[in-house]
Amino acid sequence: MATTSDIRNGLCMNLNGKLVTVIEFQHVKPGKGPAFVRTKLREIESGKVLDNTFSAGHKIETVRIEKRQYQYLYSEEAGYNFMHCETFEQVLIPNKLMDKSEYLKEGMICDITFHAEQELPLIVELPMHIEAEVTYTEPGVKGDTATNSMKPATIDTGAEVRVPLFIDMGERIKIDTRTGTYVERVK
């Protein structure tokens, strides 16, 4: 068991039966009254951000988590299959844990966070940016160059993103997977 003095950013702990990670924390010692720790926590399962205050010396139950690199292989009805990059062991990630699966490509390297004691997958993180080919988009009209004009485009993974008017079919673009937005054209 740890105490509030062990709280740091990224610490994973069990709070009321749910796994949470610390986003921010602040030790506060007011002039009057006991010290306390003000925290911002993210629930791992739902992604909700919670504010919580612990009194100084409060016992907390820490959880050991590990981040490992896995390569995406294929999807099936039950979920997504990944292979560990060093040991070649395969793991099936349930559909409910996959966020933004429309950007997954075969062979893509992803970070998967595991509960170390139970060997349960908790979070799948895609790379921050991916390169994709535009498979369909309407042609841009010459002279239609209004500032920040965007049009819908379908990429080779099947996802739809908004791209500038000058992007044509067959071009390679870079996409931010966190927001699903166009970043730049790849040469």
Q: Where are the chain's structural domains? A: 2-62, 65-125, 129-185
| CATH code of the region 65-125 | 2.40.50.140
Instruction: Record the tokens describing residue 166, joined without a space.
Output: 């000058």
pLDDT of residue 144: 62
- Host H or E run for residue 21: strand 18-28
Which of 61, 112, 59 shows the shortest CA–CA distance to 84?
A: 112
What topology is assigned to 129-185 in CATH? OB fold (Dihydrolipoamide Acetyltransferase, E2P) (2.40.50)
4-14 mean pLDDT: 89
Report pLDDT for 142: 66
pLDDT at 186 over 70: yes
Q: What is the pLDDT of residue 128?
A: 92
pLDDT band, very low/low/confident/very high, at 120 (cuts 50, 70, 90): confident
What integer pLDDT is reported at residue 178 of this predicted model? 87
Q: Are 63 and 14 in contact (CB under 8 A)?
A: yes
Give domain 2-62's CATH number out of 3.30.420.10, 2.30.30.30, 3.40.50.300, 2.30.42.10: 2.30.30.30
Same-fold call for 2-62 versus 65-125: no
pLDDT band at 145 (very low <50, low <70, confident <90, very high): low
The answer to whether the beta carbons of residues 109 and 127 sit under 8 Å apart is yes
The three-state secondary structure class of 34 is: coil
62-80 mean pLDDT? 91
The pLDDT of 130-156, averaged and rounded, is 83
What pLDDT score does 96 carry? 82
